Structure 1
């Protein structure tokens, strides 16, 4: 105890808030670069490979493939503290934990992800608890979606993307295409009304990707409403109300509903003074170096960072490289020189055996890295997304090796 009667804060070289993809992989990179005394703060016991949720919901992967114990995937030489962050005191270089402990850091990395706001739309939470509601954005709901879509033979299915910041927003479409391919194979697709509600003017926002997806939309007969926002859901009546850019409200009765929830920054970021006036509640960072605009020993990456790129897991790999290199440079008395170019990627499974890779930079220009035509539908894309990426994730990325 100190003079105030409280337990002194524990001193740590690097504290990482969040033990997801970004938090563990950047911790692994730092450890491999020789940085010691790294603590990752993460409350969850299980770790999820979230890109596989879409395959689980679409019926092309088992739920067990997407989860492993957090202790098993934490990088060697990195300490995991199983707790939540209550607050950050950047002027004092301290993190307060949910159970009352405190960590005094030399450097802080915020990789806390994004918050899913299931209460943001009236009736949404109730709809997810009902037999007809599911989502590929939570592990349990993705597992629920698989039989819900598999067993449907007629009726109306609605897929919803939310407005505003969202993590890999296009992923809401992935189980839709897989389900349509399945129904098409069974010969029941003509009797199913498939509705997609997207918040933007086009289905994705990059002409080449829009063309690929619109071709599949036409093939499956999907009814697309752009500039659409769900305003209310009646779980008992199985209906929802949505508006479009013109302001007209429409009601749809559904037999199955798959929703990507509205999302926002974790509250502790703004409450701790780490957000900027224009960062939407996310960590105020230099979008190139990922260093905080005002606190030189605070860094952020992934969905929690106030960057201008599309939020997605595919953006994390280059971000972890840049952040790790820059933090190591600062620890060695140099200026950060590595730069993040805004790269992001969203693989779209458009059948049960083919996929489209949307790779793009901060200006949403195509930047293919695998091969020049990876944005075109192919079997090779699907194999990489379904089988190669998960193995790379579990064995290399989380250890900071890829």
Structure 2
């Protein structure tokens, strides 16, 4: 009975965490649903929106250095609600339709709250929820759950936008909706999440300085090569994942996909695949391969083979739905990887007391492609319009997948070595 109650509590906590994880990025990524209204009512150009996201990515990436300390120093019960409230209040400021430089400042605050104070804490919390054989499923359901929450909240905001006339009032209403939703969920998280157990004494009963312990934990994490191998595996997945964005203009330009179908494809590509890939990736990692690292390696191999086949197809003569089906299938592979790419942190034996610092390093390196990959892929298309440019993009995605395959193969070696050492230790314990 106690085990069943513990299991129920675990999945309930995950559901609460999913609520926060599914809403936290709605305002920072306002352009997903409101790109044109942002241009019209914030008076932004394409370049200015792009630079706004660059500022966000810059603070996000280097902010993870700060989060190495923050994520293990403070409890999720405090950090996560404070982060959501911070984004919500900043959203109210955004409803004043401020100047361009104020918008850059706002997106800097979004990065501070969402990426530095919230995301590593969320990943740490999910890691600590599950045992070593549950990590794939935990992260898989996190990704799927976020997809569901994403979809519901995004469509609700779009409904408000349309209801208020699809103009300035509509955009303001959608932003207010996002802000209020975040503050409500912050309150829910505060009352439903438990405090983290932060050690205040060492093994000898001496009081621990929390600041010193967090700092030493960050240094310990930095010195562990296993964390960096996991981080560069994530880096490779994320570099390929960013390439999925360019399937949308590819299908429109090369296949002549109708504009209405482009919108449907975009929703499936961003939300549908997240909901599908999460549970599938988690199940395959935990049940089929018994290892997230092994699954990531196999998925890299599948993505390499799949993209080589895709490049060789006679796209100019194929039916639209062949292109749509193939690109969605390829995207599904990448989303299964995204669902579990934090799970190897448990497999390589990172101490749980430095989970926050470990996740921050993984985020620092893993999400770094957001600073350059969009520009890299976009410049290829600008330099070589048409099929040639897309071929360059797809070949680059293959290159990143090959790098990922090599790194994940090394990751599997580390995991196997750790497992063998553990088995030898247990055998020696039995013999003695």
TM-score of the superposed pair, with normalisation by structure 1: 0.26
Is the strand fraction higher in 1 or 2?
1
TM-score of the superposed pair, with normalisation by structure 2: 0.25
Is the helix fraction higher in 1 or 2?
2
Q: Which has the higher contact order (CA 8 A, sep 6+)?
A: 2
